[in-house]
Structure 1
Amino acid sequence: MIQGHGGNIFAVAEQLGCRPEEIVDLSSNINPLGTLPGLLEHLREHLDRIRVLPEADGRSAIRGVAALLGIAEERILAGGGTTQFIYAACAALNCRKVLIVGPTYADYADGCRMHGLEPDFFLATAATGFVLDPERLEATLGGYDTVFLCNPNNPTGQLIPHNALLSLCRRFPAVRFIIDESYLPFVASEEGKGMGHCGLDNVLVLWSVSKIFGMPGLRAGFLIANPVLLEGFRRYMQPWSVNSLAQEAVRFLGANVDEATAFIARTHGYLAGEGRLLRDRMRLARLTLYPSETSYFLMALPKPLEAEVVCQALARQRYLIRNCSNFHGLDTGYIRIALKDPSTNEIVAGYLLDLVGSGSDRA
C-alpha cells in the first residue's frame, strides 16, 4: 500500500501541531462545493443505522446508483470504495499481462503487485501536454489481457473523448478495459459520456460517489460490468463491505436524482469560472499549468525548484497540495492542486507565484 496519497491532513496536522480542521486540503480531488445539500442532514437523522449490520451485499446502495446512472442493477457491484475493486481485479479476472495507461493513480500498479504481477506502462508525456495518442496506444495493446485506464485521468486531468475510447474497446474485444470514471462527473462536455452504458462485454467501469458528492470518508464505490465479469469479483468480496451510513448516503442520492443532477451542473459552472481565473493567475508564473477537464490541475515547476520544497512551504501555511513525484512517469518537478473556494484559490495561487519567483512585483 502506498503512503503518498493526497488528503493526509492528519499527518500534516500532527507535524504542525495543529488540529486537522485547520488544514486546507487542496491535495484531494473533492468537489469544492462540498456535499450534496441535504445529505449531511439526512445522515444525522439516520445515525442509529450504525446499531445494526448493513446489508451484506450493499443492495440498497446498488439500487441508488442504478437510479442515479440509469443502469440495470444486475450490472452493478458495490464495494468499500473503488479501491476494493482495483486490488481484487488481477485475481478476479485472472490477469496475466497488464498495461497501465499513465502517468496515473499508483494503486492500479500496487493492486497488480499485490498479486505478484508486474504491470507494464504506456505513458503520455509532457511533450504532448500529457494528451494520450490513441493510435500509439493501439499499437501497444498486442499481448495484453487487461488495461487500466483512468478517464479523465488523475493527475493530468486529460480526457479521452467517449467515441475514441468506445472505438478502442470495440477493436480489442479480447482485452479487458478497466476504466476508472471516478472523476467523470466533473466533465461538463458531451465528450464526458460514461462507458457504463456501452454494453461491451470487455469493459469494466469503476464509478465513485466520493469525489463529485464530497463524501470520501464514507467509502462507497461501484463496479459496472457484464454480470459474468461481476461474478469473478464476487468471489473476492467480503460481506458488509459498504457500511450502513455509506449505504444510506447512496440511497439518498438515488432518491434525489434531480437534485444530484442540478448539483453536478452547478459544479460544472463553478469549475469553469475558477479554473479560468487560476489559469489567468498562473500566466504570471514560470510554471506550466496543463489543461484539465476536472477540478484539479497538474503543474510543472521551473527547475531547480522541486515539489517537496513547494509542498512543505505551503504546508507550513496550512495549505496541503499534492506532491506528484510518486506517480510513475512524473518526477520531482510536478505538483497538483484541486480547486477550493475563491479566496483559497487566490491565496494559494499567490503563494505559488512567490515560490516560483515569477518576475512580477511578488518576486
Structure 2
Amino acid sequence: MRKNLPKKMEHGGRVRWHRTRERGELLDFSANVNPYPPRIPWTPDPLVLKDYPDDRYELLKEVIGRAFGRDTAEVTIGNGSVELIRAFCSAMLGDGDMACIRPPTFAEYEMAVKLAGARCTADENGAVVRFLCNPNNPTGLLHTRPELLRLLEKTAGQGACLFLDEAFIELADPHQSLADVSHENLFVLRSLTKSFAVPGIRFGYGFGTPELIEKVETVRLPWTVNAFAESFAIEAFRHYEDLERSRERVARERNWLSGRLDDLGLVYEPPSANYILLAVPLEAEVLVERLFSRGILVRDCRSFGLPRHIRVAVRTREENRQLIEALEACLP
C-alpha cells in the first residue's frame, strides 16, 4: 500500500526560479541570509572532487568542535539543516509518537515529524520531542538562555527531548545559545549557510550527546556533505568570530528599517535577527504580487497560517530603502 505523504512545504528564497523564467532582476527579501557576511578566502579546488568525502567528516567535526568547545563525537553535519531535522525525527520518532510544535514556526518540523510516522500537537504533555526555534522563524521571538535552561529541565523531567533550532542565533544574540550545553535530552541545530550567506552550499550542523549523535549519524545518508561544501565550511569556521561584525551591522540596519516601517504605520513583531514579520492591511497574496511587480520578492506568510502577514529580510541600507519605497507605493 502506498504511503500517504504530507504536502510539500513552501519556503522563501525562490529568486533563482523567477530569474530562470525571465522575470528580470529581483531583490530577494524572502530569504533570511546575512547581508554582511565575513569574507572567506576560499577558492574551490577541483582536485577534491576526485575522491569520495570522508563520511565520518573527522576534520570538519574537529574544526566545529574547537569553535564551540565540543568533542567531535558530539557533532553531526548535514546537507543543510533540513536534512538533520529529518534525520533526527527518523531516529527519535515512530508510529504513534507525538511531537510538540507551536505555530507559527518553521514548517519543516511538522513535515519531518509526519514523514517519521509521528503526529504533531501544540500540547507538551505526552510529547516525545518538543521543537523550539530560537529566534523563532517567522516571528523573531528570542528566548533567553535562562528561559531555555528552565525549559530544558522541564522537558527532560517529562521524559522528552528538546530540539532547539538556532539557525539564526549568530545574527541575533549568540549569548542566548545552548550550543555549549551537553544534555541527554537536548539537540541543538545550527546552519552555516544563513550566517555566511552561502545558501547554495547547503550545510547544517548540530550538537548532542555522543549517544544521540550516533543515532542521527546512523540515519543520515552517507556522503551528503559534498567536498566543496566541506572545504568551504572548514575555512568558514576558522573565521567564525568575524560574525560579530555582521551582527553589529545587521542590528544597525534592523533598527533603521524598523523606524521606516513605523513611519508607514505598519505593525510588526519585535525583531531580534535579520528578518521582520509584518502585519499588513490587505491579503498577503495581493501585496506580494504588487511588490513582485516592482522587483521586490518577500515571504508570503500564508504557509505559516498568517494570511495578512509578510516576512522581510534585513538587507543593506540601499536595498532596504528600495523596499520601503516599494511598500509606500503598494500599500493602500
**TM-score, L = length of structure 1:** 0.84
1:31-82 per-residue CA deviation (whole Å, 9 max, x = no partner) reads 0013x21x2x4133x2332232211222222122112222211100111111
| 4+ residue segments displaced more than 3 Å | 14-18
Residue 78 of structure 1 aligns to a residue in which SS? Answer: strand
Does the alignment pair 1:356 with 2:331? yes
Q: Does the alignment pair 1:105 with 2:102?
A: no
CA distance in 2, matches of 1:118, 1:313: 37
What RMSD over aligned residues (CA atoms) do the two structures have, in Å?
1.7
Superposed CA offset, 1:72-122 (max 9, x none): 11100111111112112232013511111331010100111112322113x
Distance 1:59 1:215 in 2: 22
**Amino acid aligned to 1:74:** A
Partner in structure 2 of residue 298 of structure 1:
277
User: Tell me, what secondary structure is at the counterpart of 1:101?
Assistant: coil
Which deviates more, 311-320 or 241-250?
Answer: 311-320
Query: What is the aligned partner in structure 2 of residue 125 from structure 1?
Result: none
Aligned match of 2:13: 7
- Asked whether 1:285 is paired with 2:284, we answer no
Deviates more, 1:144-153 or 1:2-11: 2-11
Counterpart residue number, 1:214: 197
Answering whether residue 299 of structure 2 is matched by residue 322 of structure 1, we say yes
1:189 deviation in Å? 6.9
Aligned partner of 2:31 in structure 1 is 28
Q: AA paired with 2:11?
A: H
Distance change >3 Å, CA 70–CA 106, structure 1 → 2: same
Structure 2 gap segments, 5+ residues each: 1-6
Show the counterpart of 2:87: 88
Deviation digits for residues 141-166 of structure 1 (CA, Å, limit 9, x no counterpart): 22111111101111111111111111
Task: Give the alignment partner of residue 334 of structure 1, picking from 306, 309, 328.
Answer: 309
Cα gap change, 1:4/1:63 in structure 2, threshold over 3 Å: closer, same or farther? Answer: same
Structure 1: give runs of 5+ residues left out of the alignment.
122-139, 358-363
State the match for 1:43 in structure 2.
Answer: 43
**1:210 offset after TM fit, Å?**
0.9
Cα distance in structure 1, aligned partners of 2:220 and 2:62: 18
In structure 2, the residue corresponding to 1:223 is in which secondary structure? strand
Q: Letter of the aligned partner of 2:79 in structure 1? A: G
Quick one: distance in 2 between partners of 1:15 and 1:118?
A: 38
- Paired residues for 1:252-291 under 5 Å: 252-254=235-237, 256=238, 259-261=239-241, 263-291=242-270
Q: Contact 1:287–1:356 (CA<8 Å) still a contact in 2?
A: no
Counterpart check, 1:196 vs 2:204 = no
* Other structure's SS at 2:193 match: coil
Say which SS state the counterpart of residue 119 (structure 2) adopts.
coil
Aligned to 2:142: 159
> Is the Cα contact below 8 Å between 2:145 and 2:178 reproduced in 1?
yes
Does residue 72 (structure 1) correspond to residue 71 (structure 2)? The answer is: yes
Matched, 1:241 2:224: yes
Counterpart residue identity of residue 27, structure 1 = S
The structural deviation recorded for 1:349 is 1.2
**Which amino acid letter does the alignment assign opposite residue 228 of structure 1?**
E
Percent of pairs identical after alignment? 26
**Corresponding residue number in structure 2 for 1:185:** 170
Query: C-alpha separation between the residues in 2 aligned to 1:188 and 1:202?
Result: 23
Q: Distance in 2 between matches of 1:17 and 1:268?
A: 32
| Number of aligned positions between the proteins | 322
1:119 aligns with 2:114: no
Aligned 8 A contact 1:16 1:316 in 2: no
Contact (CA 8 Å) 1:101, 1:147: kept in 2 or not?
no
1:154–1:10 distance in 2 versus 1, CA, 3 Å = same
The residue type equivalent to 2:191 in the other structure is: S
| Alignment pair present for 1:54 and 2:33 | no
Describe the superposition over 1:189-235 as per-residue Cα deviations: whole angstroms up to 9, x where unpaired.
74x2x212222210001111111111111111112101111222122
Name the SS for the 1:277 alignment partner: helix
Q: Note the C-alpha offset of 1:15.
A: 4.3
